Every structure is written in structure tokens, then in C-alpha cells.
Amino acid sequence: MLYAILCYNDEKAVAAWSKPYHDQVMQQLTVVQDKLARQGRLGPVARLLPTTAATTLRKGRENMVIDGPFAETKEQLLGFFIVDFASLDAALAFAKELADANPGTGSYEVRPVAELQEHRLAQERKPAA
């Protein structure tokens, strides 16, 4: 079963991390992620820019463009992993490993994927590290 692991946290708190702590957490997450990649269970991974960079199109009789995320929430969607596991328990175990690598506030939503389409971008993109 494919799952999307949606990463939520208070983006202001994440932005307030010291550089050493930020680097430490990223390194810990990379270890967890790499292990999964070696098992062939890791699909696309994305880290999103802060919600201040977001724009929302609200559908209606007349579409409305709004600056910011679709809703003001206490925790924001900061990124996601697409992973392949045999069971929900296994996916939750992975989420637990992520939580240990990145302790404190926040949540990981484990959401089963109904359909995954894989398309290739025409242009090679430099990742924004």
C-alpha cells in the first residue's frame, strides 16, 4: 500500500530553530529516509516553502485569488513523503522514526494513496536546498 506521510508543524517554530539544531534534525531525518530508500520503499519527497509564499485560488462562481495558504491553521503542511508499506502499522512505525528524528511539536498524518501518477518534468530541476 502506498501512503503519503504528510508533515505538519508550526512553521514559525521551525524557522526559529538555530542553525546547528536545524542541521542536526535534517541529518537525523536523512538517516531515516535513506534507510527507506535503500529498501526501495521511498517515492517522491517534497519540502515546501513557508505558507507566506503560498497563493490560493478559491473556486466559486467567480474564482478568487488569495494571498497565503488555503486556511490559517496552527500547524502547517511543510512537506510530504510517499512511501510503500505492507500495513498501516509499518507506515506508523516509519512515522514514529521520523518523530524520533524530529522531536517536539508537530504531527505526521499517514494518508493512504488512492492513485499515484508518475510524470517526468521536461526540465531537470535544481533542488532548492
Partner 1 sequence: MNDPTWLDGVLRSARPTALAALLRYFRDLDLAEEAFQEACLRALRTWPQNGPPREPASWLIFVGRNAALDDVRRRAKQTVLPDEPQISDLDDAEDRLADRLDGEQYRDDILRLLFICCHPELPATQQIALALRIVCGLSVKEIALAFLVSEAAMEQRITRAKARVGAGEVPFETPSAAERTERLEAVATMIYLLFNEGYSARREDAERRAELADEAIRLGRLLLHLFPADPEVMGLLALMLLQRARMAARFDEAGNVVLLEDQDRSLWHAGQIAEGLALIDKAVRHRRPGPYQVQAAIAALHARASTAQDTDWAEIDLLYANLERLRPSPVVTLNRAVAVNKLRGAEAALAMIEPLEPKLSAYFYFHGVRGALLQQLGRTSEARESFGRAIALANSPAEAAHIRQHLDRLQAAPQNS
List interacting residues with partner 1 (CB under 8 A).
Answer: 10, 12-18, 21, 24, 49-50, 52-53, 55, 65-68, 72, 74, 102-105, 126-129
3-state SS, one letter per residue, for 49-109: CCHHHCEEEECCCCCEEEECCCCCCCCEEEEEEEEECCCHHHHHHHHHHHHHHCCCCCEEE
CB 119 to partner 1: min, Å: 21
CB 62 to partner 1: min, Å: 16
CB 55 to partner 1: min, Å: 6
For residues 75 and 84, which CB has a smaller minimum distance to partner 1 in the complex? 75
For residues 2 and 25, which CB has a smaller minimum distance to partner 1 in the complex? 25
For residues 28 and 110, which CB has a smaller minimum distance to partner 1 in the complex? 28
CA distance 79 to 35: 19
CB 84 to partner 1: min, Å: 28
Phi, psi (deg, nearest 5) at residue 3: -125, 145
Query: What's the CA angle centered on 100, arms 40 and 34, to 5 degrees?
Result: 25
